[in-house]
């Protein structure tokens, strides 16, 4: 409801001030629909970030103290809303959590960028308010930086290509979350949550868990980026094709790319290599908290950060000199051992899975009913494999090669892409409707 309302309202006036007002008002409706108290915190946080950034500009000697105050402020809002996750409890309105996580991280990034000199403090409170409360930026990514958004906030036009790209991005994201995600989640439940684990099921289950997580988060991010483009903002894609080119480092950067870029900026700002390595471990723990709850997840994130710190200490140029096969196996093994923890609620469950993949006291095969489930959903699972693996890049490169030959080919490829995404959109809405009946 909010998306068509804001998109249609943009056509009544071309001025940036009007577009920003529409976005602020529709964002307020979006926030009030979620939790009324959230709207008040968002507005209050916008004001706090605005004043702290001005303070950093006018009192550079106190900028570290002011940055720390902003970190505490946004961190407190984040922890307030994820408090149930800290004890490992399920949260009923879990959709709010990624919104709050990205909201606090995005707003902190503005004050950090002023602190580090990547952008100037904003003196127009309404420009910063547009950035702070805009509902497209509250979804799970991308983590947009104010220095990139500020020119578009002050001046943007109704770009038909950007609008079309936004609709395509939204349709693709909706298709991932409504079509691909349930099938991958079902496969995960059949294998990892089975009454009796099998060796093949343990391997297949963890692969489907990773695929479901990637598809789910990237789908929400694509919808967020699509909504932003429909509203006239040109934003980055947040998820890249999965790569193990430089072991775990490139694999991590494939997921939530914009958040990792912010973390890289924070880490590199530490100056000395020892400080940067320590920050990598700390930020890894923060990422664990970002994606889940409980001390177990934070510890796992910190261990992943330690692995990345080790790669950083070795140097990616040296890592790239290792044969590709060993880099791929090493990166995949590290991710499998460290990130697999996120698939389980307790250490005991993770220990049982570890025993299963090693074949200790379990049968071979994939488990009861798994083969039939795969056959029944073969086309959807194949689409998921194409999307996650480098096959997507190969298909995209082939389509671009055909498009570049002449205008006729370009138009044909664009029509085919639009028709495909329109079908995906229709199927997604039909499935959503059927699920509510």
Alpha-carbon distance of 5 to 1, in angstroms, equals: 6
Q: What is the pLDDT of residue 437?
A: 45
Whether 54 has a pLDDT exceeding 90, the answer reads: yes
Residues 129 and 38 in one domain: yes
Q: What is the pLDDT of residue 91?
A: 47
**Per-residue model confidence as pLDDT tens digits over 406-429:** 888 878 887 887 787 777 777 776
Residues 314 and 396 in one domain: no
Token digits of residue 229: 């483009």
Residues 292 and 278 in one domain: yes
Q: Residues near 272 by Cβ (< 8 Å), separated by ≥ 6?
A: none
Token digits of residue 224: 């967020």
Alpha-carbon distance of 291 to 112, in angstroms, equals: 22
Structural domain span for residue 418: 158-239+362-437
Residues 74 and 178 in one domain: no
The overall average pLDDT reported for the chain is 78
Residues 143 and 252 in one domain: no
Torsion region of 143: left, alpha or beta (phi above 0 gives left; psi -120 to 50 gives alpha): beta
Whether 298 has a pLDDT exceeding 60, the answer reads: yes
Q: Which residue has the tokens 């968002």?
A: 42
Domain boundary among 155, 173, 197: 155
Domain boundary among 358, 387, 411: 358
CB atoms within 10 A of CB 344: 19
Query: If you ran DSSP here, which 8-state letter would residue 122 be given?
Result: P
Domain boundary among 358, 377, 392: 358
Shortest CA distance to 110 belongs to which of 102, 125, 99, 121?
121
Residues 25 and 54 in one domain: yes
Token digits of residue 30: 């979006």
Residues 40 and 140 in one domain: yes
Residues 171 and 234 in one domain: yes
Residues 89 and 226 in one domain: no
Residues 177 and 119 in one domain: no
Domains identified in the chain, total number = 3
Shortest CA distance to 140 belongs to which of 234, 217, 43?
217
Let me know: does 56 contact 114? Beta carbons within 8 Å.
Answer: yes
**Per-residue model confidence as pLDDT tens digits over 367-404:** 788 888 888 888 888 888 888 777 777 777 788 788 88
**Per-residue model confidence as pLDDT tens digits over 154-175:** 887 777 778 888 888 888 888 8
Q: What is the pLDDT of residue 123?
A: 92
Residues 11 and 120 in one domain: yes
pTM: 0.79
Residues 141 and 11 in one domain: yes
**Per-residue model confidence as pLDDT tens digits over 195-235:** 788 888 888 888 888 888 888 888 888 888 888 888 888 88
Percent of the chain scoring above 70 in pLDDT: 81
Phi, psi (degrees; rounded to nearest 5) at 208: -70, -30
Token digits of residue 302: 């910190």
Q: What is the mean pLDDT of residues 21-33?
A: 76
Q: Which of the four pLDDT bands, split at 50, 70 and 90, describes residue 69?
A: very high
Sign of CA dihedral 361, 363, 366, 372: negative
Q: What is the pLDDT of residue 48?
A: 92
H or E element, residue 306? helix 295-314
Alpha-carbon distance of 173 to 178, in angstroms, equals: 9
Q: What is the pLDDT of residue 92?
A: 46
CA 258 to chain centre: 8
Alpha-carbon distance of 181 to 168, in angstroms, equals: 18
């Amino acid at each position: 409801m909010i998306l068509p309302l804001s998109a249609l309202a943009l056509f009544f006036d071309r001025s940036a001030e009007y577009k920003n007002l529409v976005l602020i008002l529709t964002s307020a409706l979006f926030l009030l629909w979620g939790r009324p108290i959230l709207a008040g915190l968002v507005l209050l946080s916008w004001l706090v970030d605005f004043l702290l950034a001005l303070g950093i500009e006018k009192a550079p000697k106190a900028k570290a103290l002011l940055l720390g105050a902003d970190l505490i402020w946004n961190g407190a809002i984040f922890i307030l809303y994820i408090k149930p996750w800290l004890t490992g409890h399920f949260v009923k309105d879990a959709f709010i959590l990624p919104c709050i996580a990205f909201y606090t991280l995005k707003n902190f990034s503005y004050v950090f960028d002023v602190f580090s000199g990547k952008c100037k403090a904003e003196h127009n409170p309404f420009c910063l308010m547009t950035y702070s409360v805009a509902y497209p930026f509250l979804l799970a990514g991308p983590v947009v930086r104010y220095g990139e958004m500020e020119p578009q906030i002050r001046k943007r036009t109704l770009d038909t290509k950007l609008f079309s790209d936004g609709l395509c991005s939204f349709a693709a994201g909706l298709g991932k979350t409504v079509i691909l995600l349930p099938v991958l989640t079902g496969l995960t439940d059949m294998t990892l949550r089975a009454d009796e684990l099998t060796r093949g099921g343990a391997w297949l289950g963890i692969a489907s868990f990773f695929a479901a997580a990637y598809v789910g988060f990237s789908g929400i991010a694509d919808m967020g980026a699509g909504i932003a483009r429909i509203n006239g903002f040109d934003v980055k894609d947040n998820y890249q094709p999965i790569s193990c080119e430089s072991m775990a480092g490139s694999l991590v950067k494939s997921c939530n790319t914009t958040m990792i870029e912010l973390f890289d900026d924070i880490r590199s700002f530490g100056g000395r290599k020892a400080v940067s390595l320590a920050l990598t471990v700390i930020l890894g723990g923060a990422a664990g908290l970002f994606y889940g709850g409980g001390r177990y997840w934070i510890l796992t994130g910190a261990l992943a950060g330690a692995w990345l710190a080790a790669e950083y200490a070795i140097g990616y140029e040296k890592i790239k000199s290792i044969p590709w096969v060993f880099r791929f196996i090493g990166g995949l093994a590290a991710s499998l051992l460290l990130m697999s923890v996120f698939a389980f609620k307790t250490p005991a469950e993770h220990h049982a899975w570890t025993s299963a993949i090693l074949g200790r006291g379990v049968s071979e095969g994939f488990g009861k009913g798994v083969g039939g489930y795969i056959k029944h959903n073969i086309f959807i699972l194949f689409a998921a494999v194409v999307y996650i693996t480098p096959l997507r890049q190969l298909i995209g490169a082939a389509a671009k090669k055909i498009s570049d030959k002449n205008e006729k080919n370009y138009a044909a490829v664009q029509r085919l892409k639009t028709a495909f995404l329109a079908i995906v959109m229709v199927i997604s809405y039909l499935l959503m409707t059927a699920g509510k009946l």
